[in-house]
Amino acid sequence: MKLINRHKGCWGITLYRWKRKTAEIWFCPPNFQIEEHTHPQEDIELMFLLGDAAFCRRKTPSSQPEELHVVSPWWTFTKFSVKRGYSHWFNTSTRLLIFINFAKWYCEPTSAATDFQLTDTTNNPS
């Protein structure tokens, strides 16, 4: 498992790994979009720390998207969960976005950047 991980313009630092649990702090640039994707091998809990963003997720693979507008300081330390295989995505504002990704792995832990699979949105209602 690497200490520093990258996905496009974002970079993450591994905070800890204990058995099948990990935590990574992620830094995403302003005006950045992460496309709809899943993490097939991990349940995640995202904790918002700083910035402004629109986080979206589907509570089931075929459900309508749920959108959360997170803005600091009101949402600082707020968490939301995404089960493995369920999709999520986000758009940052004109500010840097910082969040922690807590993961429970169903395989040997790696990084959220490694366990990243684009979602086929052609059959999903939006």
pLDDT in tens, 23-58: 999 999 999 999 999 999 999 999 999 999 999 999
Contact by Cβ (8 Å): 36, 120:
no
Q: What pLDDT is attached to residue 121?
A: 64
Q: What pLDDT is attached to residue 123?
A: 54
DSSP assignment of 20-55:
TEEEEEEEE-TT-EEEEEE-TTEEEEEEEEESEEEE
Q: What pLDDT is attached to residue 28?
A: 98
CA distances in angstroms from 41 to 81, 93, 122, 124, listed in the order given: 14, 29, 23, 21
CA angle 115, 95, 101 (to 5 degrees): 25
Q: What pLDDT is attached to residue 36?
A: 96
CA distance 56 to 87: 8
Contact by Cβ (8 Å): 113, 22:
no
pTM listed for this prediction: 0.90
Domain map (residue ranges) of the chain: 4-119
Count, residues in the chain: 126
Interval 63-102: pLDDT, tens:
999 999 999 999 999 999 999 999 999 999 999 999 999 9
Q: Write the CB contacts of 112 (distance below 8 Å, at least 6 apart in sequence).
A: 5, 7, 12, 24, 26, 39, 42, 44, 101, 103
CA distance 41 to 103: 9
Interval 88-97: pLDDT, tens:
999 999 999 9
Asked: is 4-119 a CATH 1.10.10.60 domain? The reply is no
Q: What pLDDT is attached to residue 97?
A: 97
